[in-house]
């Protein structure tokens, strides 16, 4: 047990020492001049127009959440596309390795059907959001 714990403790001690060392060097060597311009919030090089704590319209958040949901769900299609590319006969060695690693009972048709159900549910969610008016900016 001690053989496993010792490297982890050494790593944690080194990481803590390096991070505290960097913070200490930055506070010692860093500039200390404060001004009104440095205290202002940074907004892509433009002067801030109003308070940073203003309220946003709920439609902004709905569009942002819808984008994140569809974007993250589409990321799930990438591994499937890569796996199906290799399984289509492009590289025989990769195909043999993927067939050997594949659990028994799974076929390409079943996996394809599952992905089509996933895409169908994605399209259904998109149509639902569209009909609810999430994508209309009034």
The domains of the chain are located at: 1-30, 57-138
In contact, 75 and 63? CB cutoff 8 Å: no
| DSSP structure string for 84-107 | HHHTTTS-HHHHHHHHHHSPTT--
Q: What is the pTM of this model?
A: 0.43
Q: Return per-residue pLDDT of the chain as tens, 138 residues.
A: 678 899 999 999 999 999 999 999 999 998 888 888 777 777 666 666 766 677 777 777 778 888 888 788 778 888 777 776 655 544 454 555 555 555 545 566 777 788 889 889 888 888 888 888 877 776
């Amino acid at each position: 047990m001690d053989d496993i714990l010792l490297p982890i403790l050494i790593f944690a001690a080194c990481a803590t020492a390096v991070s505290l060392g960097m913070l200490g060097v930055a506070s010692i060597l860093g500039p200390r001049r404060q001004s009104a311009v440095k205290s202002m919030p940074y907004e892509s090089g433009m002067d801030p127009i109003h308070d940073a704590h203003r309220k946003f319209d709920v439609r902004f958040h709905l569009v942002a959440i819808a984008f994140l949901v569809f974007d993250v769900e589409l990321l799930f299609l990438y591994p499937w596309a890569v796996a199906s590319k290799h399984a289509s006969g492009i590289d025989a060695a990769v195909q043999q390795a993927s067939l050997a690693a594949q659990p028994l009972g799974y076929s390409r048709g079943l996996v394809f059907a599952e992905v089509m159900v996933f895409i169908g549910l994605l399209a259904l969610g998109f149509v639902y959001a569209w009909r609810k008016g999430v994508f209309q900016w009034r």
